[in-house]
Amino acid sequence: MVRPVEQSPQGARLGAVAGSQSGVSVAQHSSRITIPELVSRKGGEPIAILTAYTAPVARLVDPHVDMILVGDTLGMVIYGMASTLPVTLDMMIAHGRAVVGASRHAAVVVDLPFGSYQASPAQAFASAVRVMAETGCDAVKLEGGTEMAETVAFLVARGIPVMGHVGLVPQSVHALGGYKARGRDPKEAKRIVANAVAIAAAGAFAIVIEATIDPVSREITAAVPVPTIGIGASAACDGQVLVIDDVLGLAGDFKPKLARRYVDLGSQIAEAARAYAADVKSHRFPGPENVYGVPKTGA
């Protein structure tokens, strides 16, 4: 199938990244929201973020959101994996490149997948360099708290904007004992707040707070000088992020508490598939208008 390909600014973004004096830098484009602009939204207009993993979806959400997150959730929603743990750096780069190439307005942040940054700051730098240079994205995101503060500082000092992620951290799902809300235990709540404070102090430009009870999320938002982005956290966060499949109703009967379904595309896709199959089997498709070399009616 051949489709027209729209010229994208991705090459320019990659060139700007590759040609910077430090080796890695955020490409500057007047039409795209920048990381400093997002940081300035602390306590102001809420930041709207959606995930996207493919060019068509990125193109559709781009005009309406402030940031597109290419999350490692793609392992579960695109590839049908049981968790995010098997996602590879190559997978993140491939999807990140597609999203950057299809978007113009929103900042694009790409997750560093499990095992690509935890070993050392040097490993994290090598992985982040690949992601930034090969996708043209604006920043990377990593999970963790005080134990990752040194790594965050290492990356930021070398020109790589970093978004943090605390609370429920899916890459540590086995250590946490499953996907359940965090912060109910006072000791855990104190630890999550300390994690967020440490990551912010290390230089993260924003912090995702996932599935963390409202009072703790509010405390974090008040305690750190950078925007907090909630997903199942609190309305008091400086922004919100949702997985696009949850928003579009593509997850079937799975309806996580932290999400809101805005349309039921799943049932519409199923109905479209049913109607198409019925038309094929009853010889209603293709019609004369769908084939070549057939004179138009009345011609």
Number of C-alpha atoms within 13 angstroms, CB side, residue 208? 28
Alpha helices in 79-236 (DSSP H): 89-102, 121-135, 149-157, 173-176, 186-202, 214-223
Q: What is the pLDDT averaged over residues 77-94?
A: 96
Q: What is the pLDDT of residue 172?
A: 81
Are 141 and 162 in contact by the 8 Å Cβ rule? The answer is: yes
List the catalytic residue out of 188, 210, 219, 289.
210
Burial 154-191, CB ≥16 within 10 A → b, else e: bbeeebbbbbbbbbbbbbebeebeeeebbbeeeebbeb
Q: What is the pLDDT of residue 210?
A: 96
Classify residue 232 as left (phi > 0), alpha (psi -120 to 50) or beta: left
Q: What is the pLDDT of residue 298?
A: 59
Q: What is the pLDDT of residue 47?
A: 98
Q: With 0.85 as the threshold, say if the pTM is over it.
A: yes
Residue 280 has pLDDT above 60, yes or no: yes
Q: Which domains can be identified in the chain, with CATH numbers? A: 10-263 (3.20.20.60), 266-299 (no CATH)
Residue 65 has pLDDT above 80, yes or no: yes
Query: What's the rounded Cα separation, in Å, for the pair 200 and 226?
Result: 7
Placement of tokens 């359940």 in the chain = 180
Q: What is the pLDDT of residue 251?
A: 86
Q: What is the pLDDT of residue 86?
A: 96
| Strand partners for 212 | 182
Beta-strand relationship, 47-51 and 67-70: parallel
Query: What's the rounded Cα separation, in Å, for the pair 53 and 83?
Result: 16
Q: What is the pLDDT of residue 126?
A: 98
Is 210 part of the annotated catalytic residue set? yes
